[in-house]
Amino acid sequence: MNRNLLVTALIATAAFGSSFAASAQTNAATTTQRDVKQEQRIENGLRNGTITPRENARLQSDEARVDHLEAKVLKDGKMTAAERAQVTAAQDKASRDIRMANNNGVNANPLSASSQRAQADVQRNIAQEKRINQGVASGSLTNREAAGLERGQSHVDAREAHAAADGHISAREQRNIQHAENHQSARIYNKKHNAAVKN
């Protein structure tokens, strides 16, 4: 009888562990999908002129903070309910800031060189975040790998924020951003195609 109880307890523990891992994976997929949507909203604002390059700098600072927080909470491969709430709060703040930038009546010429450069950088952010999200959702990226990639994405966002802080992005500044983006792209590829996969 004790043996049956032990077997039942082991099965329950394994089921709980797998359920917890699946929940952490779902949380990571949900938060990375929201990263994609936030960057898409920023890009839309840049393209229609309702977000200026200087506003984009502030918004990319928000995105850098979100990505840094995601990296921190996923570092151990898990995301608790409290950690998920932290990330959601940071994403909610970024969302409010995007809405405010889009609706504050301050507009820019979307055809200006700085806006065009910002648009290209944000389009790349969208593509990178989509690749991370797809990797997490498919299991080709572990949560720990996603943590490292979100840390890298945070650095890219911070570079974009720094470059546009004065409202202008020079060709040289964009080359520096592109260098960071290329490095990040290679890291995403390598992590998605290594042997590590979700359980």
Cβ pair 157, 125 in contact under 8 A: yes
Domain spans of the chain?
26-192
Q: How confident is the model at residue 43 (pLDDT cuts 50, 70, 90)?
A: very high
Measure the CA angle with vertex 46, ends 67 and 60; round to 5°: 20
Cα-Cα-Cα-Cα torsion 101, 110, 53, 147, nearest 10 degrees, comes to 80
List phi, psi (to 5°) of 188.
Answer: -60, -45
Distance CA 116, CA 177 (A): 14
Using 50, 70 and 90 to split pLDDT, how confident is the model at 183? Answer: very high
- Per residue in 127-176, pLDDT (tens digit) is 999 999 999 999 999 999 999 999 999 999 999 999 999 999 999 999 99
pTM: 0.85
Write the pLDDT tens digit of every residue in 63-101: 999 999 999 999 999 999 999 999 999 999 999 999 999
